[in-house]
Chains A and B, each alone.
Chain A
Amino acid sequence: MAATFQGMISALQAFWEEQGCVIVQPYHTEVGAGTSNPATLLRVLGPEPWRAAYVEPSIRPDDGRYAESPYRFQEHYQYQVILKPAPDDVQEVYLDSLRAIGIPIEQHDVRFVEDNWESPSLGAWGLGWEVWMDGMEITQFTYFQQAGGIELDPVSAEITYGLERLAMHLQGVRRAHDMEWGSGVTWAAVREAGERQFSAYNYELADTAMLARHFDDHEAEARRCVEAGLPLVAYDHVLKCSHAFNLLDSRRAIAVTDRAAYILRMRRLAQAVAAAHLEQVPGDG
C-alpha cells in the first residue's frame, strides 16, 4: 500500500525533526505560501541560526477551479523547510528526504532546473531551482537572498514541497480527488466541498467594497503596531492586507492603474515590519 497523504507528511515531519528542525504549525491567517509564515519570512532576518519545518495551507483565491482541475486548488498544501544558515550539503539532505518518504530516487530522473523566485509585495527574492522528478515539478528550492527589502546574512535555504503532487505520484493516481488522505478517506471527501464553495466565493461573491475597506484598515493597524514596537502583530495585519488584495484580484476588482500602488503599499509595510523586527532580535543583526 502506497503512502497516504498524512503518512507522507508524518514521514517528512520525522525526517526534518531528525535534522534538528523545530516543527512549527501552519499559520493562523491566510498566506499564499509557506514563505509568508513568520517562521520563515521574519526568522530569516538577522544572524540567529534557525531551522524549522511545517505544513502550510497555501491560500491562492485565483487558483480555485471549483474542484474541477485534477491538481489546481485555491487551498493546497505545502511542506516548508527553512534552514539558516544553509548547510553545505543541503541538496543531498533534501534528496535523502525523498528517499525517506518512499521514493526510490535512483530509479528516477531527479533534476535541479534553474528557477528564481521573487515576491514584490514582500520585498523578497531568491535564486535556486525547481526540482523535477521525471519532468514533474515537485519542489521549489531557493537560496533566500533578501526579505522585507533587507539583504540576508547568513543566507537561508528554503525547501517547499508540493504535497498533493508528491502524494499523487506515490499513490499512482491522476486526480487529487482519488488520492487517499488517510484511514481510507480520500482528498475529495476532505477537500472537494471546500474547493467548490471557496471558488464560488472568491470569484463570484466576495464583497469587494468590504475587502477594500479591510485592506485600508489592516494597513493602518499594521502601521500602528510597528510604531508601538509590535512587529509580530503588525505582520499579521500585513498578511491580512495581502489576502484582501488576492481576493480583490480574483474578483477582478483591482484596476490596472491601482495594482502597482497596492503592491507598493504592501512592500512598504513588509519593509517596515522587517526593520522593526530586526531591531528586536538578539545578535548583531
Chain B
Amino acid sequence: MADLLLEVGCEELPAAHCRLAEEALPGLLAAELERAGIPAETVGAHVAPRRLAAIARGLPEGREAQRQEVRGPRAGAPEQARQGFARKHGLSVDALEERDGFVWAVSEGAAVSASELVAAAVAAAVGRLQFPRTMRWPGGRFSRPIRWLVCKLGTDVVAAHVAGVASTGGSRGPRPGKEAVSIGSAGTYLDDLRAHGVLVDAGERRAAIRAGLEEHGASDPMAKLEEVVYLVERPHVLVGEFPARYLDLPERIPITAMQSHQRYFPIRAADGGLEPRFVVISNGGDADVVRRGNEEVLVGRLDDARFAYDRDRQLGLDAMVGELDRVSFIEGGGSLADKAARLGPLVEALCDRNDVDAAVRATALRAAALCKADLVSRLVGEFSALQGYAGSVYARIAGEGEEVCAAIAEHHRPDEAGGELPANAAGALVAVADKGDTVQVAFGAGLEPTGSRDPYGLRRAAAGVVAIALERGWRVDLPGLVGEGAVGFVLDRLEPLLLDEGVTIEELRAARGSGATEPVEVTALARAQHAFAGPRRDAVRDAYGRCARIAGDTAAGHVDDALLSDPAERALAGELASGAGGTLESAAELAGAIERFFEEVLVMAEDEAVRQNRLRLVAGVRDRLRRLGDFAQLPG
C-alpha cells in the first residue's frame, strides 16, 4: 500500500476554476486509477490559486498478472493461419493450445507495479478537467499555464508529464519568492508547504479568514468570501481605516466601493452603522505597508464614488431618463429608452390579468418609466452592482414617493437563482416585465443561451419571472411576455423548483403536456399529479392511454345522444357532459365509467355513424383528461 501525491503547479487560476477543479479532480483521479487497475481507497483534493493537488491513499503495490485466452482459427486450419495467429500474440506455434476444436493463445500476463501505471492515470485525470474557458500558451491548453508538477508515490518521484512539464519532487513557495519547496510525500505535503506559509487546503484558508472576520466584526454583504478564499495562498487578516467623512454617502455606496472590486469586508458598529474601518485579506507582505497601500486604494475608490454621486445629483434623474435613447440595450433591442417604453404596457397587462389595485399599478408604471435611468449614471458606471439602488437614491432626491423608490431598488431581484425576490408588489411587477422583455428581445435576436454560455443572463431572468409568479400566485401570459419561442425556455425554469419539492420529472412533463403555459397552472398541475400518485392515478393513466389509443387522431366533437344505445356509453357521455374529470379526484371516478365503457361497448361498431359517434366520445374523454396532464408521460 502506498499514497499518491499529485500537485499541478499553475500560474494563478481564476477562483471559479479552482472551485471546479476541487470538485472534479478527486473523482477523475479515482476513475483513472481504477481503470489502470490500481484503485485508491480514498482520493481527496486540495486547491489554492497556484496549485491543484490530489492525494490518493491506499494504492495497491501494482496490478496483478491477468491470464488471457484468445480464440484463434479452427483446429484444422492451414499451418499458415496458425503461424500468423501465433505471431500476432507473440508466441511460437508450439505454444498454442488446442481445445474445443479451436486453437487458443494463452498468456499468463505480467504484474505491473503501481509506479508504472500512475503516470498515465495522472495525465489522463488532469487532461479531463473541464473549465468554462481555457487558454493556449506555448506548451499546452488549460485554465492557465502549467509550470511545475509534483508526482510522488510514497517517497519516490514518479516520472509523469502534464502539458509537457515533467514531474519532480519540488514544489514552489508563495509569491513573490522563488524558493523551491521540497515535498516529502503525500503525508507531509500540506505541512511542507505550510512551513512556507502556504495553506494549500481551501477549508483551512476559509476557516482562518472566517475567524479573522469574526474577530473584527466584519461582514460580507456582497458574498465575496468564497472568491477571496481562492485569491490567496497565505491569508493574512489586516484591518485598515478610511476617513469617516465618506460615511455620509448612502450606505451601500461605501459598502460597494469596499466589496465589489477590492473584495474588502466592511465593519459594522454595535449600533448597526458602518465604521470607517475595513478588513482586507492579504496574500503576504509587510503588514503595515500592505495596509497603507490598501487604505490609499480605498480612498481613491471612495473619491471616485463621491465624485460620481455628486455629479449624478447635479444632473438629476429626469436628465438621466432623457439620455436613455443614447444607450443600446441588447443588439436588436433598440435603446434603453425603447426598453423602458416597452415596460409600461407589459406592467399593464400583468395588472389586468391579476386584478392589481390601482395604487400599486400607478406605482409600478412610474417605477417602470424610471427604473433604467441609473444605467447612465456615473455611479453605476463606476459600480455596476449599484444598479437599481442608485436609481432609488436619485428617485428619492427627485421627490418620488417611497413606494416608487422601493420598486426601482427591487426590480433587479432576484439577482441569482434562488435569490431574494422583490418584497413589494410594484417592484415585482416591474421585475417580471423587465426580465420578460429581456428574454423576448434576446430570443428575437437569436441570442438564446447555448451550453454553459448565457452572456445576457437569460436563464436567471426566466427563473426570476417564474419564481415571482409562483410566490405571488400571479397569472402571466407567457407568450405575450416573452414571445412564443421562449415559452418552453421559461417553463424549463420550473424544473429545479419543483424537483426540489419532490415532484418527479415525469409529473412535471405530464403537467406541461396539458398545454398550460401559465407557470402557476403548470405548477399546480404538477403538484396535483405528485399528490395523487398511487393506484388511483395509475388507473386514470391507463384509462387515458386506452382512450388516446382508440381515438387515434379523431378530434373530439358533438356526441349525438340519439346514437347512444348501450347504458355504459350513455353513462360515460353523461359524465362527460356534466363536467366530470376536471380534477384528478373526479378523473379517478371517471376512470371507472371509462373501464365499464370499454368492457361493455364495442367502439368499432359496424354502423359508421355509431362508430364515429363513439370515437368522438372517446376523444372527448381523452381531451378532458389531457387538461390534467399528458398521462402518457407517467411511468407505467
Instruction: Report the minimum CB–CB distance from B64 to chain A (whole Å).
Output: 41
With a CB–CB cut-off of 8 A, which chain A residues contact B139? 88
- Contact call B175/A135, Cβ cutoff below 8 A: no
Instruction: Report the minimum CB–CB distance from B506 to chain A (whole Å).
Output: 42
Any A CB within 8 A of the CB of B203: no
Any A CB within 8 A of the CB of B463: no
Residues of B191-241 contacting chain A, CB below 8 A = 231-232
Any A CB within 8 A of the CB of B297: yes
Any A CB within 8 A of the CB of B11: yes
CA distance A127 to B12 in the complex (A): 12
- Contact call A136/B293, Cβ cutoff below 8 A: yes
With a CB–CB cut-off of 8 A, which chain B residues contact A110? 175-176, 285
With a CB–CB cut-off of 8 A, which chain B residues contact A111? 12, 175, 231-232, 283
Any B CB within 8 A of the CB of A162: no
Instruction: Tell me the nearest residue of chain A to B16, going by C-beta.
Output: A114
CA distance A256 to B324 in the complex (A): 10
Instruction: Tell me the nearest residue of chain B to A113, going by C-beta.
Output: B231
Instruction: Report the minimum CB–CB distance from A229 to chain B (whole Å).
Output: 30
With a CB–CB cut-off of 8 A, which chain A residues contact B327? 256
Instruction: Report the minimum CB–CB distance from B445 to chain A (whole Å).
Output: 11
With a CB–CB cut-off of 8 A, which chain A residues contact B136? 143, 145, 153, 155
- Contact call A106/B176, Cβ cutoff below 8 A: yes
- Contact call B15/A135, Cβ cutoff below 8 A: no
Any A CB within 8 A of the CB of B294: yes
Interface size class of B (residues with CB under 8 A): 35 or more
Q: Within the complex, which residue of A86, A106, A112 is in contact with B138, where a contact is CB–CB below 8 Å? A: A86
Instruction: Report the minimum CB–CB distance from A151 to chain B (whole Å).
Output: 8
Scan B296-310; emit 1 where CB is below 8 A from any A CB, else 0: 111010010001000
Given A105-B176, A133-B293, A256-B325, CB of A113 within 8 Å of CB of B12: yes
Instruction: Tell me the nearest residue of chain A to B175, going by C-beta.
Output: A110
Any A CB within 8 A of the CB of B135: yes
Residues of B259-303 contacting chain A, CB below 8 A = 262, 264, 280, 282-286, 289-290, 292-294, 296-298, 300, 303
Residues of A113-127 contacting chain B, CB below 8 A = 113-114, 116, 126-127
Given A113-B12, A257-B328, A260-B331, CB of A108 within 8 Å of CB of B138: no
Most chain A CB neighbours (cut-off 10 Å) among B133, B285, B290, B326:
B285
With a CB–CB cut-off of 8 A, which chain B residues contact A91? 11
Instruction: Tell me the nearest residue of chain B to A65, going by C-beta.
Output: B307
Q: Within the complex, which residue of A107, A155, A169 is in contact with B137, where a contact is CB–CB below 8 Å? A: A155
- Contact call B137/A86, Cβ cutoff below 8 A: yes
Any A CB within 8 A of the CB of B536: no
Any B CB within 8 A of the CB of A85: yes
With a CB–CB cut-off of 8 A, which chain B residues contact A71? 300
- Contact call A108/B335, Cβ cutoff below 8 A: no
With a CB–CB cut-off of 8 A, which chain B residues contact A127? 133, 135, 144
With a CB–CB cut-off of 8 A, which chain B residues contact A284? none
Instruction: Report the minimum CB–CB distance from A209 to chain B (whole Å).
Output: 18
Given A70-B300, A111-B175, A111-B283, CB of A145 within 8 Å of CB of B135: yes
Any A CB within 8 A of the CB of B177: yes
Any A CB within 8 A of the CB of B178: yes
With a CB–CB cut-off of 8 A, which chain A residues contact B292? 134
Instruction: Report the minimum CB–CB distance from A125 to chain B (whole Å).
Output: 10
Q: Within the complex, which residue of A69, A86, A134, A256 is in contact with B285, where a contact is CB–CB below 8 Å? A: A134
Residues of A214-229 contacting chain B, CB below 8 A = none
Given A109-B285, A114-B12, A135-B262, CB of A95 within 8 Å of CB of B176: yes
Residues of A72-98 contacting chain B, CB below 8 A = 85-86, 88, 91-92, 95
Scan B231-254; emit 1 where CB is below 8 A from any A CB, else 0: 110000000000000000000000
Instruction: Report the minimum CB–CB distance from A252 to chain B (whole Å).
Output: 6
Instruction: Tell me the nearest residue of chain A to B337, going by C-beta.
Output: A256
Given A92-B178, A174-B296, CB of A85 within 8 Å of CB of B290: no
CA distance A243 to B176 in the complex (A): 39
Any B CB within 8 A of the CB of A259: yes
CA distance A110 to B177 in the complex (A): 11
CA distance A122 to B32 in the complex (A): 43
- Contact call A256/B326, Cβ cutoff below 8 A: yes
Given A70-B300, A105-B176, A135-B262, CB of A112 within 8 Å of CB of B286: no
Instruction: Tell me the nearest residue of chain A to B303, going by C-beta.
Output: A70
CA distance A110 to B133 in the complex (A): 25
- Contact call A134/B290, Cβ cutoff below 8 A: yes
Any A CB within 8 A of the CB of B334: yes
Given A92-B178, A135-B280, CB of A112 within 8 Å of CB of B12: yes
Q: Within the complex, which residue of B147, B264, B283, B334 is in contact with A88, where a contact is CB–CB below 8 Å? A: B147
Any A CB within 8 A of the CB of B480: no
Instruction: Tell me the nearest residue of chain A to B233, going by C-beta.
Output: A111
Any A CB within 8 A of the CB of B515: no
Any A CB within 8 A of the CB of B14: yes
- Contact call A155/B289, Cβ cutoff below 8 A: no
Instruction: Tell me the nearest residue of chain A to B297, going by C-beta.
Output: A135
With a CB–CB cut-off of 8 A, which chain B residues contact A108? 285-286, 289-290, 293
With a CB–CB cut-off of 8 A, which chain B residues contact A109? 282-285, 290, 293
- Contact call B135/A257, Cβ cutoff below 8 A: no
- Contact call B289/A134, Cβ cutoff below 8 A: yes
- Contact call B326/A112, Cβ cutoff below 8 A: no
CA distance A134 to B285 in the complex (A): 9
Instruction: Tell me the nearest residue of chain B to A260, going by C-beta.
Output: B331
Any B CB within 8 A of the CB of A154: yes
CA distance A111 to B284 in the complex (A): 10
CA distance A116 to B12 in the complex (A): 13
Instruction: Report the minimum CB–CB distance from A94 to chain B (whole Å).
Output: 10
CA distance A135 to B260 in the complex (A): 12
CA distance A257 to B333 in the complex (A): 9
Instruction: Report the minimum CB–CB distance from A159 to chain B (whole Å).
Output: 13
- Contact call A112/B11, Cβ cutoff below 8 A: yes
- Contact call A85/B293, Cβ cutoff below 8 A: no
Most chain B CB neighbours (cut-off 10 Å) among A92, A114, A257, A259:
A114
Scan A222-259; emit 1 where CB is below 8 A from any B CB, else 0: 00000000000000000000000000000010011101
Instruction: Tell me the nearest residue of chain A to B324, going by C-beta.
Output: A256
Scan B544-586; emit 1 where CB is below 8 A from any A CB, else 0: 0000000000000000000000000000000000000000000
CA distance A180 to B14 in the complex (A): 37
Instruction: Report the minimum CB–CB distance from B444 to chain A (whole Å).
Output: 15
Most chain B CB neighbours (cut-off 10 Å) among A70, A106, A108, A135:
A135
Most chain A CB neighbours (cut-off 10 Å) among B178, B292, B293, B334:
B293
Any B CB within 8 A of the CB of A54: no
Instruction: Tell me the nearest residue of chain B to A255, going by C-beta.
Output: B326
- Contact call A256/B328, Cβ cutoff below 8 A: yes
Instruction: Report the minimum CB–CB distance from B322 to chain A (whole Å).
Output: 12
Any B CB within 8 A of the CB of A161: no
Most chain A CB neighbours (cut-off 10 Å) among B175, B292, B297, B298:
B175
CA distance A36 to B12 in the complex (A): 26
With a CB–CB cut-off of 8 A, which chain A residues contact B298? 135
Any B CB within 8 A of the CB of A129: yes
Instruction: Report the minimum CB–CB distance from A10 to chain B (whole Å).
Output: 23
- Contact call B328/A260, Cβ cutoff below 8 A: yes
Enumerate 26 A-B pairs (CB-CB under 8 Å) in ascending A order. Answer: A85-B138, A88-B147, A91-B11, A95-B176, A107-B285, A108-B289, A108-B293, A110-B285, A111-B12, A111-B231, A112-B11, A114-B14, A114-B15, A127-B133, A127-B144, A134-B290, A135-B298, A143-B145, A145-B136, A154-B138, A169-B293, A174-B296, A256-B328, A257-B334, A257-B335, A259-B328
**Interface residues of B, Cβ cutoff 8 Å to A:** 11-12, 14-15, 133, 135-139, 144-145, 147, 175-178, 231-232, 262, 264, 280, 282-286, 289-290, 292-294, 296-298, 300, 303, 307, 325-328, 331, 334-335
Identify the 3 closest CB pairs spanning chains A and B, nearest first: A134-B293, A256-B328, A114-B14
